[in-house]
Structure 1
């Protein structure tokens, strides 16, 4: 034990110096290693989770008579007007016969979109704490299975009425929050600091790929099988994947039964301090957290979520209003920007790690990628309503969505830099705060679109830009990337 403590003392250095330990880093770069296998599994977990939460954004085009008109509260019909998906020429093959359609206004649609955030936000706070105590494997696994079942029941809930649908989505949001908030404690024990940009960007990019996949395939499923099958298929895939995940994912390298001994020692050599002293056994310094400006600067995550939720929830609706095409074509065009964002997100993690090897300060890297993921993306959307040519509209959407994913290597993992000992709780808490945008964004955007049909989109994008700019400025001023004094380990003494 004495030799082990001496070794830990030599290993324990600042994150900026850790990225320069190149002889050790070479072992961690193998994509066949177990911790990259865990990373790929979390990538797929985020893909499935996001696809389930995003599916209604594309099926909404098929579930309602029109996204551009105002109707009564929740009257169901069996037919569909000929102009709903691009005029009479598209009407015969827009939807399979007998698929229910609802009369929901833009404001009601915004409430349905936002209902998935009602339970998600408190569970983002709670799940990070629970994952730190009972393990990510249990928290995420059980929640993933529960949300898959609620996804399968969504079409039935819609048939029972709007209230039933919203209640089902709130129940689903509780599981969604546990999955999204609880997963981050894995990187306390699986992610060496010099690899966290890559690991987190690969894992979080699953959310972007999930959006791309469901928007692309969702349109095809709606037009060939009917929109209810989009929920049935995703729920079934989630149940099967959940069983596989219980077999493949473990909470730390020590408990993993198949990990290579060399890789286990490699990971533990960097993270032994975090594994040896569990953060759950230490009291949370709540007062210090509330006074920490670097922690509060993570409000930028809220502004970026406003951008992302607008893109995810309203890209199909915006394309439908601009291009006036059928649901299959809408799915393809709406999915394309997220494919680019998926690639950009992964490359962004590689770029961040590359800059660190070139002796860039960690805080500089975090702020640069956060700026690139916020400012250009929101500025391009402001221009969108003034553009007429369709190819320019798609180009701006692709650039905006593609650049936005760079934030995965910036603001979203900054908590791991400044409070590693309590990152399990705080990653969930900060993301939970960011996801309050999930309630506000669709509700506010739906109201703006409902009240001002002529300038609704312009107002939506101007508000988005203002919110993003304020959050970005806050982070650029107060953001840091060094362990805060109140978060450092202190030996307890009794007098």
Structure 2
């Protein structure tokens, strides 16, 4: 793994400023054909695969649970329904292949949807630290492989019992943390500061695309093949991604066999002014006292509370409140996420444009994008229960909320790379702890509200999520910063 000394040595190989300018200009002309953008696309595929595996239960559970079937008759379709909801379910079951159906109460469903995050509190900090010190290639690759293989066994676990399914999803969640946390250590070495937003958002947009595809295809797969094939197909895709990841991804441009000399020099020179050498020692006490870091931590928890609720319950909301059948529920649930995928990339490009043209300062860009994302997405969700009689209005609100929320990916969600690039892996792990804390609590709380009273339950779910999100925004606007903190550039610690 390269260090700060390697960067300085490489910079010293460049004979003069003219050559440096020519190198930078050549690299800028490459645009999306550069290797660093290719790496972003590979990470896009990895995030795509991970999020199909995170979301597949959210869409499959509407087929796995049949409210018209009494306990003890789980494989029999009921004839002669008496309600519109039963009509939709029986229509779906008659068109789909025969597959086991389970009698899970709303509370059990909430626990199953949240269980992916239960064990995740243990993994982010170790995964981020190990990826930061030893490199992200094998940490991310191992996590992707484990999560993909376990996805293939979910139907068997569900048929065995709820307890085994919960355990499997807890282990799977830990493996997914390795992917989602470890990948940010790569950008410390590969992303020039002026391209950081666009590269990270290209990679992150795979999450939205994966969510979109599993939602739009999930209902169709349930009808055509049966719900188990959602897990077989997307687990297989994840295994295939491993075949791309291991031979093509390297931790830094110094060791990559296919990177051009010009691009390598451009990346190294861009990072020369930024001390991002990685090491063993951590200034824990200084981190604990850092308000800019706490601003990002609070933002992560609050924004992921809203995101976790939407990702877990959008299919359920559309199928139960809008009375959509399984096929339509999947298609409608996918719309907000495909729009979010596009807006994440556009937001990253806009953020880097404003920074490179010096239109706004970096801290202003981070706070502006976060404020717009939080206020618009939260403001749109609050009146959602009052427009449920109109399917088109409801879907328009969900799409606009997703589009605006995606701007946060160019705001507070990548701000840790600005204030402490040296500790990017560790800090991402720390932040993941709080995001998974929100992911573990939010769907469970939503399931409790909905089980008490369906109509008021949905209203309380959206109001609580919006309130938490706005509180996080206010804290970030007050204490957020974008310059490298003193504790992140002090060289008194021992580094590898």
Normalising to structure 2: TM-score of the pair? 0.91
Mapped pair 1:79 → 2:79 = no
Deviations 1:135-163 (A, max 9, x none): 11100111111111110000000000100
Mapped pair 1:285 → 2:286 = no
Q: Please say if residues 11 and 268 of structure 2, whose CA atoms lie closer than 8 Å, have aligned partners that are also in contact.
A: no
Mapped pair 1:423 → 2:420 = no
Deviations 1:249-294 (A, max 9, x none): 111101111111111111111224668x73224x100000000000
Structure 2 residue aligned with 1:127: 127
Structure 2 residue aligned with 1:361: 361
Structure 2 residue aligned with 1:303: 302
Cα drift, residue 378 of structure 1: 1.2
Count of residues paired in the alignment: 477
Mapped pair 1:475 → 2:472 = no
Structure 2 residue aligned with 1:15: none
- In the aligned structure 2, how far is the partner of 1:107 from the partner of 1:2? 54
Q: Please say if residues 123 and 181 of structure 1, whose CA atoms lie closer than 8 Å, have aligned partners that are also in contact.
A: no
Cα drift, residue 487 of structure 1: 1.1
Deviations 1:327-348 (A, max 9, x none): 1111100001111111111000
- In the aligned structure 1, how far is the partner of 2:293 from the partner of 2:63? 42
- In the aligned structure 2, how far is the partner of 1:201 from the partner of 1:105? 38
Mapped pair 1:163 → 2:160 = no
Q: Please say if residues 51 and 234 of structure 1, whose CA atoms lie closer than 8 Å, have aligned partners that are also in contact.
A: yes
Mapped pair 1:205 → 2:202 = no
Deviations 1:313-332 (A, max 9, x none): 11111111222121111110
- In the aligned structure 1, how far is the partner of 2:78 from the partner of 2:325? 13
Structure 2 residue aligned with 1:17: none
Deviations 1:30-77 (A, max 9, x none): 1111110000000110000011010000001101013xx9987xx671
> Within 5 Å, which residues of 2 pair with 1:28-177?
28=28, 30-66=31-67, 77-81=74-78, 86-88=85-87, 91-94=90-93, 96-177=96-177
Cα drift, residue 392 of structure 1: 0.9
- In the aligned structure 2, how far is the partner of 1:93 from the partner of 1:307? 30
- In the aligned structure 2, how far is the partner of 1:356 from the partner of 1:450? 47
Range 423-432 or range 438-447, more displaced = 423-432
Give the match's secondary structure for 2:250.
Answer: coil
Q: Please say if residues 80 and 101 of structure 1, whose CA atoms lie closer than 8 Å, have aligned partners that are also in contact.
A: no
- In the aligned structure 1, how far is the partner of 2:113 from the partner of 2:6? 56
Give the match's secondary structure for 2:324.
Answer: coil
Relative distance call for 1:208 and 1:76 in structure 2 (3 A) is farther
- In the aligned structure 1, how far is the partner of 2:369 from the partner of 2:6? 41
Structure 2 residue aligned with 1:332: 331
> Within 5 Å, which residues of 2 pair with 1:294-443?
294-298=292-296, 299-359=298-358, 360-387=360-387, 388-443=389-444
Range 92-101 or range 115-124, more displaced = 92-101
Relative distance call for 1:468 and 1:4 in structure 2 (3 A) is closer
Cα drift, residue 120 of structure 1: 2.0
- In the aligned structure 1, how far is the partner of 2:447 from the partner of 2:50? 24
Relative distance call for 1:113 and 1:464 in structure 2 (3 A) is same
- In the aligned structure 2, how far is the partner of 1:23 from the partner of 1:265? 7
Relative distance call for 1:4 and 1:131 in structure 2 (3 A) is closer
Relative distance call for 1:352 and 1:273 in structure 2 (3 A) is closer
Relative distance call for 1:237 and 1:478 in structure 2 (3 A) is same
Q: Please say if residues 117 and 437 of structure 2, whose CA atoms lie closer than 8 Å, have aligned partners that are also in contact.
A: yes
Structure 2 residue aligned with 1:16: none
Q: Please say if residues 85 and 326 of structure 1, whose CA atoms lie closer than 8 Å, have aligned partners that are also in contact.
A: no
Relative distance call for 1:4 and 1:313 in structure 2 (3 A) is closer
Cα drift, residue 424 of structure 1: 1.4
- In the aligned structure 1, how far is the partner of 2:78 from the partner of 2:65? 10
Relative distance call for 1:175 and 1:71 in structure 2 (3 A) is farther
Structure 2: state its 5+ residue gaps.
Answer: 15-20
Cα drift, residue 103 of structure 1: 1.0
- In the aligned structure 1, how far is the partner of 2:274 from the partner of 2:243? 29
Relative distance call for 1:346 and 1:132 in structure 2 (3 A) is same
Structure 1: state its 5+ residue gaps.
Answer: 11-20
Q: Please say if residues 189 and 252 of structure 2, whose CA atoms lie closer than 8 Å, have aligned partners that are also in contact.
A: yes
Relative distance call for 1:176 and 1:338 in structure 2 (3 A) is same
Cα drift, residue 349 of structure 1: 0.3
Relative distance call for 1:444 and 1:76 in structure 2 (3 A) is farther
Relative distance call for 1:54 and 1:5 in structure 2 (3 A) is same
Give the match's secondary structure for 1:354.
Answer: helix
Q: Please say if residues 120 and 178 of structure 1, whose CA atoms lie closer than 8 Å, have aligned partners that are also in contact.
A: no
- In the aligned structure 1, how far is the partner of 2:477 from the partner of 2:214? 34
Give the match's secondary structure for 1:255.
Answer: coil
- In the aligned structure 2, how far is the partner of 1:226 from the partner of 1:351? 42
Structure 1 residue aligned with 2:18: none
- In the aligned structure 1, how far is the partner of 2:370 from the partner of 2:245? 31
Structure 2 residue aligned with 1:242: 242
